[in-house]
Amino acid sequence: MKVVVTGGLGYIGSHVAILLLELGHDVIIVDNFSNSSPAVLKRIESITKKNPTFEALDLKKQIDVKTLFSIHKHIDGIIHFAALKAVGESVEQPLRYYENNLHSLIYLLEEVVLQSIPLIFSSSCTVYGEPDAVPIAESAPLKATISPYGATKQMAETIIQDVCVANPTFNAVLLRYFNPIGAHPSAQIGEIPQGVPANLVPYLTQTAIGKREQLKVFGADYPTPDGSCIRDYIHVMDLAQAHINSLEFLWNKKQETNCEVFNIGTGKGYSVLELIKTFQEATGQQVNYSLTERRPGDIMQAYANPQKAEAILGWKAQYSLAEALSSAWEWEKRWQQEQSSNNE
């Protein structure tokens, strides 16, 4: 099959591209390098021993989207990752986030609807806001989001659902990720944060390796067993596999409706302090951390009810938290070693 992966050089997109290539699919990666590097393409080629097609296009520009579809015909599926994703940055630059994340989706939809190309959309558990109960099922109400980033995910879901209602021959799957962590088993690709990491695990690994002085745990007085926030941490390889299952689900036309929503998480919640302890036990590395005040906008706990994905997609998380954290550490060591070599 011919599959377009937008944002395919990003953290999750690159791992999905690898699985698609290993399965023998014809992969077209689209990226504008806003949160990625050309070096990731070489890493994908090194791991898979295959050469995906690459298009350097900016999908928030309608002309670039039209260029993509004029060059490539008979596309069998699109996985749409391309989006800005930093919660804090979105608060500071809301218009940039609304323009980038929504324009790119709308321009893509205009093209894929005409050709009835099935779409998998990269959504987020942020659409649930502060949940009424955990674990969170897909039927849980969507609450007000804490950031423009989360708002773009909610809006994007609404747009896709409306388009599906208006176009019965168009099919989409919305995947609501929980907290992706970890790296490819080869340790050749993983999460590469720009500047100070916005996510917990890369900040933790950078602290363990000495790049950051100390990891701050925001909040130790939540009504949780140890006072820290609880999240559902999923290995990026498990998350990547969920996209493969979703594509096959769409290709086999198994959906009851033409717009399906799935939670992609482990179904287990771990506190920040539990995660730090697990990392230290799994890697033998100590982490300098301190407990500090709560951070505005953080929710207390969120973890998935993944039963729908298990029952309908035949997908279930396979990796443990310790395995995910160990892979993140192996990637961090390799990445820092490469950076040191490049600077010599």
| DSSP for 303-338, written as a single string | -B--HHIIIII-------HHHHHHHHHHHHHHHHHH
| Lookup result for tokens 């701050």 | 216
Q: Tens digit of pLDDT for each residue in 297-327?
A: 788 999 999 999 999 999 999 999 999 999 9
- What's the pLDDT at 298? 85
* Residue 149 annotated among the catalytic residues of the structure: yes
| Lookup result for tokens 């926030």 | 229
- What's the pLDDT at 222? 96
Task: Tell me the C-alpha distance between 113 and 110, whole Å.
Answer: 6
Contact 76, 10 (CB under 8 A): no
Q: Tens digit of pLDDT for each residue in 221-243?
A: 999 999 999 999 999 999 999 99
- What's the pLDDT at 254? 80
Pair of tokens at residue 50: 């295959």
- What's the pLDDT at 57? 98
The share of the chain scoring above pLDDT 70, in percent, equals 100
- The overall average pLDDT reported for the chain is 96
DSSP output for 53-94: EEEE--TTSHHHHHHHHHH--S--EEEE--S---HHHHHH-H
Coil vs helix vs strand at 339: helix
Question: Helices (DSSP H) in the chain: which residue ranges?
Answer: 11-22, 38-48, 62-71, 87-92, 94-115, 148-166, 200-209, 236-251, 272-283, 307-308, 321-343
Coil vs helix vs strand at 217: strand
Calculate mean pLDDT across residues 45-66.
98
Calculate mean pLDDT across residues 127-146.
93
Q: Which fold has domain 2-181+233-265?
A: Rossmann fold (3.40.50)
Q: For residue 206, how many other CB atoms are within 10 A of its CB? A: 19
Rg (CA), the chain: 19
Calculate mean pLDDT across residues 78-103.
94
Q: Residue 343 pLDDT more than 80?
A: no
Calculate mean pLDDT across residues 56-78.
97
Q: Residue 127 phi/psi, 5° resolution?
A: -65, -20
- Peptide linkage before 52 cis (omega within 30 of 0): no
Q: Tens digit of pLDDT for each residue in 265-291?
A: 999 999 999 999 999 999 999 999 999
Contact 310, 316 (CB under 8 A): yes
Calculate mean pLDDT across residues 254-262.
91
Quickly state the pLDDT bin for 202 (edges 50, 70, 90). Answer: very high
Q: Residue 344 pLDDT more than 70?
A: no
Task: Tell me the C-alpha distance between 93 and 145, whole Å.
Answer: 16
Residue of 11, 149, 222, 319 marked active site: 149
